[in-house]
Chains A and B, each alone.
Chain A
Amino acid sequence: MASDKTTAPEAVVVRFAGDSGDGMQLTGGQFTLSTALAGNDLATFPDFPAEIRAPQGTLFGVSAFQINFGSTAIETAGDAPDVLVAMNPAALKVNLAALKPGGLIIADTGEFTKRNLDKAKYDANPLEGDGLAKWDVLAFDISELTLEAVKPFGLGKKEALRCKNMWTLGLALWMFDRPREPIHDWLKQKFAKAPELADANIAALDAGHAYGETAEISGPLKQVHVDPVASEPGLYRTITGAESISLGLVAGAQLAELPMFFGGYPITPASAILHHLARLKEFDVQTFQAEDEIAAICSAIGASYAGQLGVTSSSGPGIALKGEAMGLAIMTELPLVIVNSQRGGPSTGLPTKTEQSDLYQAIYGRNGDAPMPVIAARSPADAFECAIEACRIAVEYMTPVMLLTDGYIANAAEPWKVPNPADYRPFPAKFLTEKNAKNAEGEDELLPFARDEKGARPWIKPGTPGLMHRIGGIEKAQGTGHIDYSPDNHQAMTDARKSKVDGVANSIPDQDVCLGNESGKLVLVGWGSTYGPIHQAVRRARKRGLDVSHVHVRNVWPLPKNLGDLLKGFDKVLVPEMNAGQFKTVLRDQYLVDAQPLTKTSGQPFAIAEIEDAICDALGEPRPSQIGGEVDVNETQLPSPEAANP
Chain B
Amino acid sequence: MNDMTPVQTTLKDWETDQEVRWCPGCGDYAILKAVQRTLPQLNADPAKTVFVSGIGCSSRFPYYVESYGFHTIHGRAPAFVTGIKLANPELDVWMVTGDGDGMSIGGNHTMHILRRNIDVQILLFNNEIYGLTKGQYSPTSRQGTKSPSAPGGSIDRPAQPCAFALGSGARFVARGFDVSKNLPDVLKAAHAHRGAAFVEIFQNCIVYNKDVFNDFAAPKGAEDQQLWLEDGQPMLFAKGTKGLARDVENMTLKVVDVVDGDWEGAGVMVHDVKNRTLAHMLVELPFGPFPMALGVIYDDPRPAYDAVVAEEMSKARTAKAGNLGALLSKGQTWTVDGTAQDPI
Write the residues of chain A forming the contact surface with B, with a CB cutoff of 8 angstroms: 33, 36-39, 179, 182, 228-238, 247, 250-251, 254, 259, 261, 263, 280-284, 286, 288, 290-292, 294-296, 298-308, 310, 324-325, 328, 332, 418-421, 461-474, 482-483
| B316 interfacial contact with A, CB 8 Å | yes
Q: Which residues of chain A come closer than 8 Å to B63, judged between CB atoms?
A: 470, 472, 483
- A302/B313 in contact, CB under 8 A: no
Q: Which residues of chain A come closer than 8 Å to B90, judged between CB atoms?
A: 463
- B336/A236 in contact, CB under 8 A: yes
Q: Report the bound CA distance from A254 to B323 in whole Å.
A: 11
The answer to whether A290 and B70 touch (CB under 8 A), given A282-B316, A282-B321, is: no
- B72/A298 in contact, CB under 8 A: yes
* Distance to closest chain A CB from B78 (angstroms): 8
Out of B109, B309, B329, B342, name the residue touching A418 (CB < 8 Å): B329
- A250/B73 in contact, CB under 8 A: no
Q: B58-71 vs A: 1/0 string, CB under 8 Å? A: 00001100111111
- A472/B70 in contact, CB under 8 A: yes
- B48/A463 in contact, CB under 8 A: yes
The answer to whether A282 and B320 touch (CB under 8 A), given A250-B327, A471-B70, is: yes
Q: How many A-B residue pairs have CB under 8 A?
A: 216
Which candidate, B79-87, B96-104, B169-177, B264-272, is the interface stretch facing chain A?
Answer: B79-87
- B334/A472 in contact, CB under 8 A: no
* Distance to closest chain B CB from A38 (angstroms): 6
| B301 interfacial contact with A, CB 8 Å | no
Out of B71, B86, B341, name the residue touching A39 (CB < 8 Å): B341
Out of B48, B68, B76, B333, name the residue touching A295 (CB < 8 Å): B76
Q: Which residues of chain B come closer than 8 Å to A231, judged between CB atoms?
A: 336
* Distance to closest chain A CB from B217 (angstroms): 29
- A462/B50 in contact, CB under 8 A: yes
Q: Report the bound CA distance from A238 to B331 in whole Å.
A: 9
Out of B62, B78, B309, name the residue touching A472 (CB < 8 Å): B62
Q: Report the bound CA distance from A617 to B328 in whole Å.
A: 44
Q: Which residues of chain B come closer than 8 Å to A179, judged between CB atoms?
A: 343
Out of A299, A307, A328, name the residue touching B73 (CB < 8 Å): A328
Q: Which residues of chain B come closer than 8 Å to A469, judged between CB atoms?
A: 68-69
- B112/A295 in contact, CB under 8 A: yes
Q: Report the bound CA distance from A324 to B330 in whole Å.
A: 38
Q: Which residues of chain A come closer than 8 Å to B316, judged between CB atoms?
A: 281-282
Write the chain B residue with the least CB distance to A38. B343
Write the chain A residue with the least CB distance to B332. A33
* Distance to closest chain B CB from A186 (angstroms): 8
- B108/A233 in contact, CB under 8 A: no
Q: Report the bound CA distance from A450 to B317 in whole Å.
A: 36
Out of A232, A284, A307, A473, name the residue touching B88 (CB < 8 Å): A307
Write the chain A residue with the least CB distance to B93. A462
The answer to whether A235 and B341 touch (CB under 8 A), given A288-B83, A418-B329, is: no
Write the chain A residue with the least CB distance to B77. A298
- A306/B336 in contact, CB under 8 A: no
Q: Which residues of chain B come closer than 8 Å to A36, judged between CB atoms?
A: 332, 334
Q: Which residues of chain B come closer than 8 Å to A238, judged between CB atoms?
A: 331-332
Write the chain B residue with the least CB distance to A280. B322
* Distance to closest chain B CB from A69 (angstroms): 13
- B87/A308 in contact, CB under 8 A: yes
Q: Report the bound CA distance from A482 to B88 in whole Å.
A: 25
Out of B69, B78, B317, B339, name the residue touching A282 (CB < 8 Å): B317
The answer to whether A468 and B73 touch (CB under 8 A), given A235-B333, A302-B79, is: no
* Distance to closest chain B CB from A169 (angstroms): 16
Interface centre among B81, B88, B342 (most CB of A within 10 A): B88
| B16 interfacial contact with A, CB 8 Å | yes
Interface set, chain B 87-134, CB cutoff 8 A to A: 87-88, 90-91, 108-109, 111-112
Q: Report the bound CA distance from A302 to B109 in whole Å.
A: 14
- A234/B335 in contact, CB under 8 A: yes
11 contacts between A and B (CB under 8 A): A237-B332, A259-B87, A281-B313, A286-B313, A291-B79, A294-B76, A299-B79, A302-B70, A303-B84, A307-B87, A463-B48
Q: Which residues of chain A come closer than 8 Å to B66, judged between CB atoms?
A: 468
Out of A33, A302, A467, name the residue touching B81 (CB < 8 Å): A302
- B343/A39 in contact, CB under 8 A: yes
| B251 interfacial contact with A, CB 8 Å | no
The answer to whether A462 and B312 touch (CB under 8 A), given A234-B335, A235-B333, is: no
Q: Report the bound CA distance from A329 to B324 in whole Å.
A: 29
Write the chain B residue with the least CB distance to A419. B328
- A483/B322 in contact, CB under 8 A: no
Q: Which residues of chain B come closer than 8 Å to A37, judged between CB atoms?
A: 332, 334, 343-344
* Distance to closest chain A CB from B328 (angstroms): 5
Q: Which residues of chain B come closer than 8 Å to A307, judged between CB atoms?
A: 87-88
| B240 interfacial contact with A, CB 8 Å | no
Q: Which residues of chain B come closer than 8 Å to A33, judged between CB atoms?
A: 332
Q: Report the bound CA distance from A531 to B335 in whole Å.
A: 26
* Distance to closest chain B CB from A286 (angstroms): 6
- A470/B69 in contact, CB under 8 A: yes
Interface centre among A310, A468, A469 (most CB of B within 10 A): A468
The answer to whether A306 and B88 touch (CB under 8 A), given A233-B336, A467-B47, is: yes
Q: Report the bound CA distance from A426 to B88 in whole Å.
A: 24
Q: Report the bound CA distance from A263 to B85 in whole Å.
A: 13
- A462/B336 in contact, CB under 8 A: no
| B260 interfacial contact with A, CB 8 Å | no
The answer to whether A302 and B73 touch (CB under 8 A), given A288-B82, A421-B324, A421-B325, is: no
Q: Report the bound CA distance from A332 to B71 in whole Å.
A: 10
- A306/B47 in contact, CB under 8 A: no
Q: Which residues of chain B come closer than 8 Å to A230, judged between CB atoms?
A: 339
Q: Report the bound CA distance from A466 to B109 in whole Å.
A: 32
The answer to whether A298 and B73 touch (CB under 8 A), given A281-B316, A306-B88, is: yes
Q: Report the bound CA distance from A593 to B81 in whole Å.
A: 47
| B248 interfacial contact with A, CB 8 Å | no
- B91/A463 in contact, CB under 8 A: yes
| B249 interfacial contact with A, CB 8 Å | no
The answer to whether A473 and B71 touch (CB under 8 A), given A281-B316, A302-B81, A303-B83, is: yes
* Distance to closest chain A CB from B196 (angstroms): 14
Q: Report the bound CA distance from A355 to B177 in whole Å.
A: 54
Q: Report the bound CA distance from A338 to B79 in whole Å.
A: 16
Q: Which residues of chain B come closer than 8 Å to A324, judged between CB atoms?
A: 73
Q: Report the bound CA distance from A24 to B329 in whole Å.
A: 26
Q: Report the bound CA distance from A307 to B85 in whole Å.
A: 11
Q: Report the bound CA distance from A292 to B105 in whole Å.
A: 13
* Distance to closest chain B CB from A435 (angstroms): 13
- B341/A306 in contact, CB under 8 A: no
For the complex of A and B, list the 7 residue pairs with the smallest distance between their C-beta atoms, beginning with the closest. A302-B83, A39-B341, A472-B71, A298-B79, A299-B83, A281-B316, A283-B322
Q: Which residues of chain B come closer than 8 Å to A301, judged between CB atoms?
A: 72, 80, 83
Out of B16, B112, B333, B341, name the residue touching A291 (CB < 8 Å): B112
Write the chain A residue with the least CB distance to B81. A302
Write the chain A residue with the least CB distance to B320. A282
Interface centre among A33, A39, A292 (most CB of B within 10 A): A39
* Distance to closest chain B CB from A271 (angstroms): 19
- B317/A281 in contact, CB under 8 A: yes
- A462/B72 in contact, CB under 8 A: no
Write the chain A residue with the least CB distance to B46. A468
A39-B340, A418-B329 known, 7 other contacts, Cβ within 8 Å = A237-B332, A295-B79, A296-B79, A298-B79, A303-B87, A465-B47, A468-B47
* Distance to closest chain A CB from B187 (angstroms): 20
Q: Which residues of chain A come closer than 8 Å to B87, judged between CB atoms?
A: 259, 261, 286, 302-308
| B250 interfacial contact with A, CB 8 Å | no
* Distance to closest chain A CB from B333 (angstroms): 4
- A288/B331 in contact, CB under 8 A: no
- B336/A232 in contact, CB under 8 A: yes
Q: Which residues of chain A come closer than 8 Å to B70, judged between CB atoms?
A: 302, 305, 332, 470-472
- B86/A261 in contact, CB under 8 A: yes
| B288 interfacial contact with A, CB 8 Å | no
Write the chain A residue with the least CB distance to B333. A237
Q: Which residues of chain A come closer than 8 Å to B341, judged between CB atoms?
A: 38-39, 228-229
* Distance to closest chain A CB from B302 (angstroms): 19
